[in-house]
Amino acid sequence: MNIKRVIPDTAQAWENGSLGRSAAHARPADPSLEQAIDESLGLQAISIRVPKATIEAYKLVGAYYGKGYQPLMREAMQRWVQAEIKQIRAKGEEPALPASARGSTSKLRRSA
């Protein structure tokens, strides 16, 4: 009798890496797919220099919350900007934006 070893298809199996992390089955995403994903999420790649200690701290906090450090940094930047916009508006002022940034802050305007 031939018995197959089956890993249960559960959310936990995907999260803990039992499923979906085999290097033998991985392949790079097509650049056009990566671009389409970034567009649909409203993301833009940037390059900044950050102190190594800050990145390590984000990695520690990210591990605690079960997230990568980059999504955590993105979340922190969004929170900071929203709080700053609220403070500026509380003074009765409106932050001035360059024309190139006006469309990209529509989510901030609604939530701030």
| pLDDT tens across the length of the chain (112 residues) | 567 666 667 788 878 888 878 888 788 889 899 899 999 999 998 999 999 999 999 999 999 999 999 999 999 999 999 999 999 999 999 888 777 766 655 555 544 4
List, in order, residues 6 or more apart from 67 with CB less than 8 Å away: none
d(CA 6, CA 15): 17
Instruction: Domain of residue 111: give its range.
Output: 68-95+104-112
Predicted TM-score (pTM) above 0.75: no
Domain assignment present for 25: no
Domain assignment present for 76: yes
User: Collapsing DSSP states into helix, strand and coil, what is residue 23?
Assistant: helix
Q: What are phi and psi of 65, to 5 degrees?
A: -90, 0
Q: How many domains does the chain have?
A: 1
Domain assignment present for 84: yes
